[in-house]
């Protein structure tokens, strides 16, 4: 899946610029926050551990304990439910800062699993951190002289590499080594997280005081975020996993409500949201189930089981 960027179309980004992009992404709060700093900022005594260890098939205990912890918080003893919810939460924590940096600053931080650290503080939720040396983390960006559409395509490719190749693929393999869980469910979870990140960036209109590094088409932050989400969700490995509709004008050439990646993704006709989202609004409706309905909770906002008129649940 790794794209060949040997032509120089994608270049290293200055570490200070990458650090500033991550800091700006964190201003959106929630899943967009990824703290960073040198190794001394992440003492093991505070619970910080490398994600690479979580993915390591020779060290299954760490992942098994994490999934069991999530199951306990959910009140379920169904392993695949806990594994699915854990994987979706981690995917959201990873894709949100990637998409924010790409949309706001036109660059993508490198999230080496050996340098991305995680912890769950007492009574808290999953936190991620990025360890670096010098002024900031490594990153990549399109060459500045590229046409805007080509720059956008390359940014999407690099986001996909960082998210899928470095994290989702090894995480999925590690989970499937411990229990029965569908790759389609796990990828559907990540696709849902990608759409949610774009939607939340669009809602943060008060933080859009950035230039447009990717140039037109793209417009403001919300439009650029949806273009990145569209690029991810309509190509492998996410294509066909759901139906994506985007705001009017966000993707030139694609009418609102028709961005779905072909028949396999529910495209081809004007989409309508069973939960009541206006047809010119943005939504993603997945074609697989995250299994969250098996715990005492309302369904997710993009649930494949969502019936018309039912209230929205977890977003």
pLDDT per position as a tens digit, 214-254 = 544 334 788 889 889 999 999 999 998 888 876 666 566 55
For 308, what's the count of Cα atoms within 13 Å in the CB-facing half-sphere?
A: 3
The CATH code for residues 10-240 is 1.10.510
CA distance 87 to 174: 11
DSSP 49: E
At residue 270, does pLDDT exceed 50?
no
Q: Output the pLDDT for position 287.
A: 62
Mean pLDDT of all residues in 11-25: 96
Amino acid 221: pLDDT:
85
| Radius of gyration of the chain, Cα coordinates, nearest whole angstrom | 19
Q: Which residues are paired to 142 by β-bridges? A: 10
Which of 92-101, 219-228, 299-308: highest mean pLDDT? 92-101
Q: In this prediction, what percent of the chain has a pLDDT beyond 70?
A: 72
Residue 201 is predicted with a pLDDT of 87
3-class state of residue 130 by DSSP: strand
Region 138-154 average pLDDT: 95
In order of 146, 168, 176, 295, the CA distances from 55 in angstroms are: 36, 10, 11, 26
Q: Where are the domains of the chain?
A: 10-240
Rounded to whole angstroms, what are the CA distances from 35 to 115, 118, 127, 164, 223? 12, 10, 8, 21, 26
Average pLDDT over residues 2-26: 85
Helix axes 221-233, 148-160, angle to 10 degrees: 60
Q: What are phi and psi of 219, to 5 degrees?
A: 65, -130
228 CB-contact burial (10 Å; exposed 0-12 / middle 13-18 / buried 19+): buried
**What is the rounded average pLDDT of the residues 53-75?**
94
Measured N-to-C along each axis, helices 60-74 and 79-105 cross at an angle, to the nearest 10 degrees, of 100
| pLDDT, position 29 | 87
Out of 80-89, 95-104, 241-250, 272-281, least confident range: 272-281
Please compute the mean of the pLDDT values over residues 267-276 and round it to a whole number. 32
Residues contacting residue 152 through CB under 8 Å, at least 6 positions apart: 214, 218, 224, 227, 228, 231
Show the CA angle centred on residue 88, arms to residues 308 and 223, nearest 5°. 70
What is the tens place of the pLDDT at every residue in 26-51? 999 889 999 999 999 999 999 999 99
Of 86, 44, 45, 48, the closest CA to residue 65 belongs to 86
pLDDT computed for residue 256 by the predictor: 52
Residue 261 pLDDT level (bands cut at 50, 70, 90) = very low
Q: Calculate what percentage of the chain has a pLDDT beyond 90.
A: 59
The pLDDT mean for the chain works out to 81
Strands (E), 97-201: 108-109, 116-119, 127-131, 139-142
**Three-class secondary structure of residue 13 per DSSP:** strand
**4-8, 134-138, 243-247, 300-304: least confident range:** 300-304
What does the pLDDT look like over 148-157, one tens digit per residue?
999 999 999 9
Give the SS3 label for residue 297. Answer: coil
Per-residue pLDDT averaged across 114-131, rounded? 94
The pLDDT of residue 295 is 61
Q: What is the pLDDT of residue 276?
A: 32
CA distance linking residue 92 with residue 16, whole number of Å: 25
The answer to whether residues 229 and 179 touch, using CB atoms and an 8 Å cutoff, is no
pTM: 0.82
């Amino acid at each position: 899946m790794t794209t060949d960027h040997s032509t120089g179309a994608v270049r290293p980004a200055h570490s200070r610029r990458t650090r500033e992009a991550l800091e700006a992404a964190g201003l959106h709060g929630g899943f967009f926050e990824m703290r960073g700093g040198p190794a001394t900022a992440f003492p093991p005594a505070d619970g910080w551990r490398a994600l690479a260890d979580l993915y390591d098939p020779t060290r299954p205990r760490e992942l098994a304990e994490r999934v069991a912890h999530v199951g306990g918080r959910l009140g379920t003893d169904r392993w695949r439910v806990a594994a699915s919810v854990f994987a979706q939460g981690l995917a959201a924590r990873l894709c949100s800062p990637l998409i924010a940096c790409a949309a706001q600053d036109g660059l993508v931080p490198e999230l080496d699993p050996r340098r991305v650290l995680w912890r769950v503080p007492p009574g808290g939720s999953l936190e991620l951190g990025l360890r670096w040396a010098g002024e900031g983390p490594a990153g990549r960006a399109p060459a500045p002289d590229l046409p805007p559409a080509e720059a956008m395509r390359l940014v999407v490719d690099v986001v996909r590499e960082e998210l899928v190749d470095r994290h989702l693929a090894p995480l999925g393999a590690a989970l499937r080594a411990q229990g029965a869980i569908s790759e389609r469910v796990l990828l559907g979870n990540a696709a849902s997280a990608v759409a949610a990140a774009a939607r939340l960036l669009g809602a943060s209109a008060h933080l859009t005081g950035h230039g447009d590094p990717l140039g037109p088409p793209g417009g403001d932050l919300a439009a650029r975020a949806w273009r990145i989400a569209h690029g991810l969700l309509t190509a492998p490995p996410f294509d066909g996993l759901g139906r994506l509709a985007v705001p009017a004008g966000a993707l030139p050439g694609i009418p609102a409500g028709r961005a779905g990646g072909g028949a396999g993704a529910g495209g081809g006709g004007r989409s309508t949201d069973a939960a009541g989202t206006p047809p010119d609004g943005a939504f993603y409706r997945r074609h697989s189930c995250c299994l969250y309905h098996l715990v005492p909770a309302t369904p997710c906002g993009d649930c494949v089981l969502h019936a018309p008129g039912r209230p929205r649940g977890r977003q």
